[in-house]
Amino acid sequence: MFRDNLQKMVERVDGAVAGILMGFDGISVETYARGAATPDVQTVGMEFAHVLTQVRRATEALEVGGLRELQVRADNLVVLVHVLNNEYFVACAIRPDANSGKARYLLRMLAPQIQSEL
């Protein structure tokens, strides 16, 4: 069920390469990659689980409320993360020229669906 949701999201954004539902501990629940994603979606997820933990610590230290979203733009990849709860996040990796606004919108739409099934 999660895989269908991830696949639909990835396929609705031109230039999206992968979607992942993962725990903050770096263990993935489900992934979907379009074509041969480079780098591997699992590896991206694990790196971002680590980064998210650091960012969450920063937001806690700053007392600015719960962490909701993270976006990282590098030269060859953009990663959008939507935090579901204290344990899980869903993320979408897109090419830099893809529509990040649409990807963010679809992540926001997807989040409550996944939350209701977690």
Positions that interact with a copy of itself (CB under 8 A): 39, 43-44, 47-48, 50-51, 54-55, 58-59, 61-77, 101
C-beta neighbour count of 60 within 10 angstroms? 12
Residue 8 or 15 having the CB closest to a copy of itself: 15
Cα angle, residue 71 at apex, residues 66 and 76 outer, rounded to 5°? 160
Q: How far is the CB of 30 from a copy of itself (least distance, A)?
A: 20
* Of residues 43 and 113, the one with the C-beta less far from a copy of itself: 43
Q: Provide, rounded to whole angstroms, the least separation between the CB of residue 4 and a copy of itself.
A: 27
Residue number, 2 or 89, with CB nearest to a copy of itself: 89
Shortest spacing between CB 38 and a copy of itself, in angstroms? 9
DSSP letter for each residue of 1-50: -HHHHHHHHHHHSTTEEEEEEEETTS-EEEEEESSS-SS-HHHHHHHHHH
For residue 54, the one-letter residue type is: Q
